[in-house]
Amino acid sequence: MENKVEAQFSPKKPHVAFLPSPGLGHVTPLFELAKILVTNHGFHATFLNITTEASSAQNNLLHSPNLPHHLHIVDLPPIDISNLINSQTPGITHLCINTNESLKCLNKVLNQLPNKPQALVIDIFCTQAFDACKDAVPNIPVFTFFTASARPLALSLFLPQLDRDVEGEFVDLPHPVQVPGCEPVQIKGMLDQIMNRKSDEYKWYLHHISRLPMAAGILVNTWEDLEPVTLRALQEHAFYHNIPIPPVHPIGPVIKETEPVTQTGSECIAWLNKQPSNSVLFVSFGSGGILTTKQQNELAWGLQLSGQRFLWVVRPPSDDSNATSFFNAGNDDSNYVGSYLPKDFVEKTRKRSMLVTSWAPQMKILRHPSTASFLTHCGWNSVLESVANGVPMIAWPLYAEQRMNAMMVEEEIGVGVKVAVGEGGLVGREEVERVVKMVMVEGGKRKAIK
C-alpha cells in the first residue's frame, strides 16, 4: 500500500487534503470538489475518511473502483464511541462526538502521508484540524468548506455576537434576527441547532463556528447570482471585517456529476423511460431524512389523492427523530416497502408509481426528461441539484438549516412551494394533495391519472 501511495504522488502536482465529518451531506460536496481539482486542474488529492459509523452509501462512494488516478482515499481508524452516545443523543451532538474522537489520530495520519499536503479543506465540524495542522505540517493553510448556503453562513458567523447580546432563548425574540447586511432571518426559520441554547447541540455548534476565523479562507457552495445580497455582506460589511473572518469564496455549484450504477438505479431509470415526458414527481428526503409513522401515512395518502405519477424513496418510519438515517444511508433494507405504508396503498398506486427503499440515483432522476418536480427536504445539496437541472421543488424541510433553504426556494429564488405545517407539526394529506397538484397539475397543465 505504501509503495502504491507514493507512486500516485507527483512533486509537480499541488497536493490538497480533504476532511469531511461523517454523513453524505458533508462527504459528497467535499468529494466532488476533490474530483474537480484532480480531473480539471491537475491536483493530487488525499481524502481523509472518518470510518466510524460510516454508512454503506458513504463507503460505496469513496471506495468506488472508478476513482480518478490522483485521488487517494485514507481511511481513519474506526473507534468505539458506544460509551459516549446512545439512541437519544441528538444528531449534531452525535456527529460532533464521533468527529472529535475520530480526529485524535489526525496529527499522526498527516505526518505519515508520503507527501505533505499544501492545504487542507475541512467542513465546519472538523475544526480540530486547526490544532493538528500546527504540529503535523507547519504553516499549512486550512480552508473551511461551508456545505450549506451563504445565508446560514452569515447567521452562523453572527451567532457568537448574538450569543453575547441576547439573554434567554432566540426563539422568544419578538422580531426576526437582523443579520448584518442581510435579509432578516425569521425566528421560525432559524437553524435547528441554535433553537435551544441549553442543549449540547447549541454548545457544539457555537464552538465550531467560533473557530472559523482561524481558517485561511471559507469556501461556500453557492454563487453570486444565486445569493448576491448575502455574499456581498460577507465580503464587504464592516461587521465581518471586524470579527475578522477570512476571505469568503463562492465556488458553487459543486454537485455530483456521476453516480455509481446499481441494480436499483438501473430499475429507476428503466421505469422513468416508460413514463411520459415531464410527468413524474420525485419524492426523497435525502440521505438522513426520515418521517414519523403518522406523517409517512399522510404523505402516502396525499400522493394517492393527487392522482400523479411519482417515484418515492421510502424508508422505514421512526417516531424518535427526523434524522435517524443520517448514519445508515444506503444500508440495505430487506423489509417489503408495503409493510410500513398504509394498507392497500401499494396496490392502489401501482400503475403510476415506483417505490424504492433506502437509495436512488438522485442526479440521474433529476436529469431525466420524465421528471417534472421534486418533493425534497431541502438539504442544500438537493436544492443545488434541483436548481442545476431546472426542476421545480416542493419544499418539506426536516432539520438543520433546511427551513432557511425552504424559505429561500419559495420566497427568494422562486423555484418551488413550501408545504404548510398543520396542528401538531403534521403535514396533512389534503396539504400534500394541494401542493402536488399546484406544481404538477396547475404548473404543468397535467391531468390526474385515473
Residue tagged 464521533 (cell numbers): 98
3-state secondary structure of 87: coil
For β-strands 309-314 and 280-284, DSSP reports them as parallel
What gap in Å lies between CA 25 and CA 362, rounded to an integer?
Answer: 13
Compute the residue count for the chain.
Answer: 450
3-state secondary structure of 73: strand
What gap in Å lies between CA 230 and CA 226, rounded to an integer?
Answer: 10
Strands (E), 300-342: 309-314
What gap in Å lies between CA 371 and CA 271, rounded to an integer?
Answer: 11
Closest CA to 176 of 166, 186, 168: 186
Concatenated DSSP letters of 159-187: HHHHHHH--S-GGG-SS-B--TTSPPBPG
Contacts of 240 (CB under 8 A, 6+ apart): 157, 180, 181, 233, 234
Contact assessment for residue 150 and residue 228, using Cβ atoms and an 8 Å cutoff: no
Q: How many other CB atoms are there within 10 angstroms of residue 103's CB atom?
A: 24
Q: What are the grid coordinates assigned to 386, written together?
A: 434541483
Contact assessment for residue 318 and residue 296, using Cβ atoms and an 8 Å cutoff: no
What is the side-by-side strand order in the sheet with 353-357?
353-357, 309-314, 280-284, 371-376, 393-395, 416-418
Closest CA to 38 of 61, 54, 14: 14
3-state secondary structure of 4: helix
Which helix or strand (DSSP H or E) is residue 62 part of? helix 56-62
Which residues is 376 bridged to in the sheet? 284, 395
What gap in Å lies between CA 118 and CA 102, rounded to an integer?
Answer: 22
What type of residue sits at position 346?
A: V
Q: What are the grid coordinates assigned to 349, written together?
A: 398506486
Known catalytic residues are 26, 123
